[in-house]
Structure 1
Amino acid sequence: MFEDLKDLPPDGLLQLIKLYRDDSNPQKIDLGVGVYRDADGGTPVFRAVKKAEHRLHEVQDSKSYLGPEGDHEFVAALRPYIFGKNDGYGARLNGVQTPGGTGAVRLACETLASAGAKRVLLGTPSWPNHGPIIQATGMEPVLFDHADIKTQTLDFGALIDAMKAADKGDIVLLHGCCHNPTGIDYSADQWGEIASIVADRGLFPLIDLAYQGLGHGFEEDAEGLRKVIAAAPESMLAYSCDKNFGLYRERVGALYALSNTEAQAATLYSHLLSNARANWSMPPDHGAATVRVILSDDDFRAEWDAEVRDMRARLNRMRSALAEYQNVGDVDLAAVGRQNGLFSTLNLSKDQVMAMRGSHGIYMAASGRINVAGLNERNIPHFVEALRSIA
């Protein structure tokens, strides 16, 4: 059965975990794995999550299946954060719980492919799973340059050209905020231009929103995507609670789908449930239930919001601290201060990345992508000196 299978290369980021763990260098820095870290290098459980889990322990009376749609109240509780308190979409907008944002992207692509979609416009570099998911569901990724890493600038013209050359019904995949892996986002005016072209060309927006709240705030991080969704009669949005609730291992996500009419929405919803049933049958309960409890309690919600603000402030402090060093060789650290979220991709060759690892114990993706949360006031000088040594 398996004689013709060929070895596949190991996942580079997963390799970094072991390499970092086995490194005895006391100055080692982990900038690889994409989880939030506090100033001490930990990834703590949110205080609001702990309290919500305690309440669940007290009141939850069953571990029975949820159904393929997951937790209705969880999906409803997230909706105003994403689409606005009075989004006006009514029953045209439906949502289902998914196993993480990855599950949401997969469910979106499978459903779009089954509806006849053929092509997905995808800016590069992008989250490494985007391309494989698109291809695995039988669609073609149509690549364009999202950003120029050498100059640390957005290539907005490449997006506009790709959209204007696209056919009606083509999918355009957009990062809602805190672009992974570059941290380079669209401006408010650029979001408006994207919305206009989506409407004019009859394109279908698929928005991946994995870091809401970590850029400028919950409302600010949703302003652009709301313009695009308002301009398009149909769209989908994949959501992750990994980062902004710290629920990485619980796999908490949701997929929202907007249809032309309520009747079409009901039909589409039936297809979402059917595809979800075939993929994972029922989504896991605990993480989504925890989010639901937090968002339904004023005190828990306020504490969670404060914790996200603290995360965002720390990320921005690290970016500002790096930006003070301006340029180190060909690496524009000043640009890092203008970017958003967890990630930036530095202008480093693979050889330079390996030198940072081998000579200085600094671990990052081979692409030069760094997780800004791996930095703190104590290790930034070591990081910059390492950059200078390999420049």
Structure 2
Amino acid sequence: MLNTLKPQPADKILALMGQFRADPRETKIDLGVGVYKDATGHTPVMRAVKDAERRLWETETTKTYTALAGEPAYHAAMAGLILGDGLPVDRVAALATVGGTGAVRQGLELIRMANPDATIWVSDPTWPNHLTILSYLGMKTRPYRYFDTETRSVDIAGMMADLSQIQPGDVVLVHGCCHNPTGANLTLTDWAALAALLEEKGAMPLVDLAYQGFGDGLDADAAGTRLLAARLPQMLIAASCSKNFGIYRERTGILLALTPDAATRDLAQGTMAYLNRQNYSFAPDHGARLVTMVLTDAGLRADWEAELEEVRTGMLALREQLAAELRQLTNSDRFDFIARHRGMFSRLGATPGQVEKMRDDHAIYMVGDSRLNIAGLNATTVPILARAIVDAGV
């Protein structure tokens, strides 16, 4: 039977990682994989997480299962982090998931159970896994314009024009901050316009919040999500702890469902727990427990926020340095958008041929659509990348 399986397309980023590893050049630079790295190219364990792990090792007495939906303390800590002081506790259902990807998948499964005919509107471009999961689930999708390739900013007019066609019961998948792959973010004015449209059309947002704290700060990065929560009767939020807590391999995520009332919350909570049971029964707890400890201990939280701020401002400094280098080399401001973008990624606007030339001539590895991971740079390699961009004719 297994010989009837059909080969699946290779993941382009994983394939790029393999090419990078095989490249013998000592000067090679990896800007492809979407993982935070410090100036030495290392993805460190954050201080507060390390401290929490030490405390957990000393105090944990069992490895038995936790609840199907995860621990209530984790739900409360993450809901507070995402939704802030305006958290409507009696209207929020929560589900611990296997990473942010698991949260997206469970959110889409929940939508499919609630309305199999829903169309999921997805930004063009978006994180490739959004599209592959939707395709695998057989859900209806439509793209909406998002990125203006000329200005390298959000095409809000095109976005709103496309979304004016949404129907009641449709779902708009939107990046909460640090848009992947472009780095271009909605303004609060844009978020307000989106909220008004969703309210008018009777559609629901699914916010993918994978990078809270990596853009403009923890609260600023959640501001758009909080605005939607304040305006709309229901929404879904899929959040990841991989980046802002640096616990990629612990696979820690959460799905939040904002519901119109407490009765609907209970219904959603039961259904979400059912989805976990059908998929993997109990979500991993180790990472979720560490996150809970960090968020609920004043000392650990202060240290975590301080280190996260160091990470965020470090990436902003690299953006500003790269934009300045390119301004000097080109005697123009056409690359200033790099400094305006937020998060780990920016899309340069290079052609696949230009990306290949940078790889062949300068050992610089980025995704074929010219998405580059700013966190793969350091102060020494920024000038190398800038020269490669100019030499490739971008």
**What TM-score does the superposition give when structure 1 sets the normalisation length?**
0.96
- C-alpha distance after superposition, 1:249-306 (max 9, x if no partner): 1000000001111111101111111111111111111111111111121111111000
1:27·1:361 contact (CA, 8 Å) conserved in 2? yes
**Which shifted more, 232-241 or 73-82?**
73-82
**Where does residue 105 of structure 1 map in the other structure?**
104
**Rounded Cα–Cα distance in structure 2 between residues aligned with 1:328 and 1:158:** 30
**Which shifted more, 44-53 or 4-13?**
4-13
1:152·1:332 contact (CA, 8 Å) conserved in 2? no
**Where does residue 357 of structure 2 map in the other structure?**
355
**Where does residue 20 of structure 1 map in the other structure?**
20
Q: Secondary structure at the match of 2:213?
A: coil
Corresponding letter in the other structure for 1:95: A
**Where does residue 193 of structure 1 map in the other structure?**
193
Corresponding letter in the other structure for 2:338: V
**Where does residue 114 of structure 2 map in the other structure?**
115
Q: Secondary structure at the match of 2:97?
A: strand
Q: Secondary structure at the match of 2:254?
A: strand
**Where does residue 146 of structure 2 map in the other structure?**
146
**Rounded Cα–Cα distance in structure 2 between residues aligned with 1:53 and 1:138:** 40
**Where does residue 172 of structure 1 map in the other structure?**
172
Q: CA deviation at 1:125?
A: 0.8
1:336 maps to which of 335, 338, 347: 338
1:373 maps to which of 369, 372, 375: 375
**Rounded Cα–Cα distance in structure 1 between residues aligned with 2:330 and 2:57:** 51
**Where does residue 238 of structure 1 map in the other structure?**
238
Q: How does 1:1-391 map to 2 (within 5 A)?
A: 1-87=1-87, 89-117=88-116, 118-324=118-324, 325-326=326-327, 332-391=334-393
**Rounded Cα–Cα distance in structure 2 between residues aligned with 1:354 and 1:279:** 40
Q: CA deviation at 1:8?
A: 2.4
**What TM-score does the superposition give when structure 2 sets the normalisation length?**
0.96
**Rounded Cα–Cα distance in structure 1 between residues aligned with 2:333 and 2:122:** 26
**Rounded Cα–Cα distance in structure 1 between residues aligned with 2:121 and 2:284:** 31
- C-alpha distance after superposition, 1:154-193 (max 9, x if no partner): 1112221222111111101111001011000001111111
Q: Secondary structure at the match of 2:86?
A: coil
Q: CA deviation at 1:385?
A: 1.2
**Rounded Cα–Cα distance in structure 2 between residues aligned with 1:7 and 1:258:** 39
**Rounded Cα–Cα distance in structure 1 between residues aligned with 2:125 and 2:333:** 17
Distance 1:251 1:328, change over 3 A: farther
Q: CA deviation at 1:9?
A: 2.5
Structure 1 residue runs without a partner (length 5+): none
**Rounded Cα–Cα distance in structure 1 between residues aligned with 2:102 and 2:253:** 7
**Rounded Cα–Cα distance in structure 2 between residues aligned with 1:134 and 1:5:** 20
**Which shifted more, 179-188 or 146-155?**
146-155
**Rounded Cα–Cα distance in structure 2 between residues aligned with 1:137 and 1:112:** 11
- C-alpha distance after superposition, 1:341-384 (max 9, x if no partner): 00001111111111111111101111110000111110111111
Aligned residues: 390
Distance 1:328 1:255, change over 3 A: farther
Corresponding letter in the other structure for 1:46: M
1:149·1:346 contact (CA, 8 Å) conserved in 2? no
Corresponding letter in the other structure for 2:101: T
Corresponding letter in the other structure for 1:266: D
Q: Secondary structure at the match of 2:205?
A: strand
**Rounded Cα–Cα distance in structure 2 between residues aligned with 1:76 and 1:238:** 15
